Amino acid sequence: MIKTFEKFDAVRSLVGGELSQPLDGIIRYHSGQTPPSDSAIDTKLKELQADYDAKQYQRDRLYPPIGEQLDEIYHNGIDEWKKTIKKVKDAHPKPSE
């Protein structure tokens, strides 16, 4: 699944606090919030997307639930558990910096 961030996501990140965006699509500010500039919004959109993209490998690394991991260790030993975890790590290596 590809995530794309919307203007509202960027504004919420920049302004904080309560915002609303009714069906008309116009962002409504509350409590004296100052709307950010278009360039600040564009910069924040790029930052949010880059951060999300950089963490893709973390989302792909779906380890078994901890309860299943403990059962694996108890029933089959630590070496079998290590093999299970290694399969996930090998399938989704951490990108180099």
pLDDT for the residue numbered 17? 81
> DSSP characters for 2-66?
-----HHHHHHHHH-S-EE--TT---EE-TTPPPPPHHHHHHHHHHHHHHHHHTHHHHH--PPPH
pLDDT for the residue numbered 75? 97
- Res. 1: pLDDT tops 90: no
Q: What is the pTM of this model?
A: 0.58
Domain boundary assignment for the chain: 7-54, 60-91
Tokens 């403990």 belong to 70
Say if residues 25 and 72 touch (Cβ distance below 8 Å): no
Tokens representing residue 22 in the block: 């009714």
pLDDT for the residue numbered 21? 80
pLDDT for the residue numbered 36? 93
Mean predicted lDDT score pLDDT of the chain: 87
